[in-house]
Amino acid sequence: MNEKQMEIIVSRGIDQVLGSGYELKAQQVGVGGGRLDLLVSRPDGAPMVVELKKGRLAKNHVGQVRRYADELSAEAQVNVTAMIIANVASPSMIDFEEKSGVCVKTISESRLSELGNKIGLSQSDLLGDRRKAGVLFGVRTGLRTTVPLHAALAECPKPIGRLVRSLGADSKHSRFSAGTSQIVLQYRGIKVGGLNRWERGGHTYVSTGVVLSVDHELALDQNRFFRTSRNSTGKHEHIWWERRWDGSDYACQSKNTFRFFFNVIDEALGPVLELGARRR
């Protein structure tokens, strides 16, 4: 069993692993230079970062999860607790981690397999998408090479430059990064989508990780975003929604769509992060 399969089982059975009242809010959230596995709300509503570690717990793991919790605390101005779930941990390691402010929970591979069977996960499920349906998923930016944002915008139509500057000024939580062909937009650590300035004459796209319901798909359709997919590995279908840069209203519809999904993320993460802020 690998860490992806651990995440599939734990995310689907979060209440059985952690207990009643815990709720999964997001997976693979971008924080600083990394991505945390799970963002969970505790029974009291406060946020908690959960990292999954296959095998035996090691001392270097505490630095990673503690860094994620501290960076999220600083960025969102909230009090975030941290937990590591590992297959095996010695008493001394558990004591070391907890003295560092990290809660430790152990669950063996056999127990995880039993839980997977109990909640009805098939072998196909364990080899499929790690994302739990209806939960925010912060996919990677996909940028192999980065370039200055201003240089990327110089290659875009002027309405796109105004769009990026407007969204950047709208919220402290929005962040743009640019590559050789794409400009990626993240909000609260979740990849919302971005702008591809070369393919198909240029287009705006929205990532599947923020499209949580049929209503969200309808909102995309109303703004002329169309579902697109590509199977590049033979195992995983990559899905996104895109709006080509044609007509007179593409920039306005792109901005409205991005703002719509800002609200989706705020509705999912806002309450738990705001509660954490009040408890700082």
The angle at the Cα of 273, spanning 270 to 279, to the nearest 5 degrees, equals 140
For the chain, give the percent of residues with pLDDT over 70: 94
Domain hosting 112: range is 3-137
**Residue 33 sits in the same domain as residue 87:** yes
- pTM assigned to the model: 0.87
CATH code of the domain covering residue 65: 3.40.1350.10
pLDDT tens per residue across span 104-115: 899 999 999 999
pLDDT tens per residue across span 11-28: 999 999 999 999 999 999
pLDDT for residue 280 is more than 60? no
Query: Among 74, 105, 137, which residue terminates a domain?
Result: 137
**pLDDT at residue 141 in the model:** 77
Query: Among 137, 165, 182, which residue terminates a domain?
Result: 137
The angle at the Cα of 139, spanning 134 to 144, to the nearest 5 degrees, equals 165
Tokens matching residue 217? 């798909």
Quickly count: other Cβ atoms within 10 Å of residue 166's Cβ: 13
d(CA 13, CA 10): 5
**pLDDT at residue 243 in the model:** 95
**pLDDT at residue 152 in the model:** 93
pLDDT tens per residue across span 199-258: 888 999 999 999 999 999 999 999 999 999 987 655 667 899 999 998 889 999 999 999
234: left (phi over 0), alpha (psi -120 to 50) or beta: left
